[in-house]
Homo-oligomer: A and B are copies of this chain.
Amino acid sequence: MTDLKESGRVRAADAKRRRLMRAAAEVLHRQGAERTTIADIARVADVPAGNVYYYFKTKDDLVAAALSEHARRLELLTGHLDRLTDPRLRLRGLIETWMGQRDLAARYGCPTGTLAVELDKRDEGGLDVEAGKVIRLLLAWVERQFRELGQPEPDGLALTLVGAYQGMSLLANALRDPGVMDREGARLLAWLDSLDAA
C-alpha cells in the first residue's frame, strides 16, 4: 500500500474522529451528559452508532473528548486574542466574545460551565476533574492578562471575571433572557476600564 493511500485512510479516520468530537461538544452542550445517548452523537456526526466504539471506548471517553474540544476552542480564542498587544484589549475581546454568544448562552448556558456542574455530581470517573481543567485554563489566561496589566492580585481578579461570566451565563440561561448577557457584559467592560491603569 502506498503512503498516499495510507495517509488518505488515516486522514479519513481522523476526520471521523474529529467529527465525533465536534458533535459530542455540540450535543453535550445542548442536552447535557446524562440526557445524551451515544446514538444522539453518532447521528449528528453522521457515523453509524456501532462504529463510535471504534474511536471511543466508552461514553465517558466521548465526554472527555468533548471537554478537550472545548479546551481546543478556548485556546483558539485566546490564541487570537493574544495577537492584541494590550492585555486590556484582550480581556475586552474576551468579554465581547461572550456577549456575542448571548443567544446560545440564554438557551444552553456556558458549555464548559454547565458540563462542569453536571459532571461534578459524579463520584467517580474523574470527568469532573477534566472539566475543572478547562475552567482552570480560562482562569490562567485571564490571570495572565491582569498580571500584565500590573494589577495586584491578578488571580483574584480572574476569579471575579470568570465567575461573573459563569454567573451571567447561568442567569441568562435560567431566565431565558439573552439581555442578561448584554447588561452584565456591559458592566464588565466598564469595570475593566475602571481598573487602575497602573
Contact = CB atoms under 8 A, between A and B. Distances in A.
Interface of A: 30-32, 34-35, 108-109, 113-114, 116-118, 120-122, 128, 131-132, 135-136, 156, 159-160, 162-168, 170-171, 173-176, 180, 183-184, 187
Nearest to A30: B121
Contacts of A168: 159, 163, 167
The complex is assembled from copies of this chain, and their number is 4
A35 B187 contact: no
A132 B34 contact: no
Given A166-B167, A167-B164, A159 B174 contact: no
Contact of A159 (B113, B131, B171): B171
B162 A120 contact: no
Given A34-B34, A121-B35, A160-B184, A116 B167 contact: no
Contacts of A173: 116-117, 120
25 contacts: A34-B34, A35-B122, A108-B120, A109-B117, A109-B120, A113-B170, A116-B170, A116-B173, A116-B174, A117-B117, A117-B173, A120-B173, A120-B174, A128-B176, A131-B174, A132-B175, A135-B175, A136-B175, A159-B171, A159-B184, A160-B184, A163-B180, A166-B167, A166-B170, A166-B171
A32 B175 contact: no
Contacts of A164: 160, 163-164, 167
Nearest to A161: B167
Given A114-B117, A120-B108, A121-B30, A170 B171 contact: no
Counting chain B CB atoms within 10 Å of each CB, the highest count among A34, A121, A135 belongs to A121
Counting chain B CB atoms within 10 Å of each CB, the highest count among A31, A114, A136, A171 belongs to A171
